[in-house]
Amino acid sequence: MDCNTCDTAPTILINAPEVVEVSLTITEKAKEMLEGAFGDDRSHGLLVGVLSGGCSGYMYDLQIVESTEQDCQELDIDGFRVLVPNASSHLLDGIEIDYVDRMMGGGFKINNPNASSSCGCGESFS
């Protein structure tokens, strides 16, 4: 509501990132782990997203989902349904999804050629 006593705030322009047709790869070790998670049910998909936060600005977000409300690209990578939100496609094009064994357990690791930097934990990038 405008009471006409304050200056009107200037219009803020929001530039939406350009949607990029995503290409990604999944290593053999990551495929083995996904095989265990999905089993024979390939109706679900792997949602590969990006969240704001972490020590470098963005964090990777991997989820197994039936569906999503997000506007996504759907890829078929060796029989796995992979969903990539168009809003973060420019950050995820060319990534490699890997699985690494660590002393305190294993986890998925994203190798991202678009990241200018990443933190020591490997879960955050900019």
- 8 Å CB contact between 20 and 93: yes
CA 103 – CA 87 distance, rounded (Å): 35
CA 63 – CA 49 distance, rounded (Å): 8
Hey, what domains does the chain have and what are their CATH numbers? 25-125 (2.60.300.12)
- 8 Å CB contact between 89 and 20: yes
Reported as half-sphere exposure (CB side, CA atoms, 13 A), residue 31 has a value of: 11
What does pTM read for this prediction?
A: 0.79
Quote the pLDDT of residue 75. Answer: 96
Read off the pLDDT of residues 2-52 as tens digits, 9 standing for 90 and up: 566 666 767 777 777 789 999 999 999 999 999 999 888 888 999 999 998
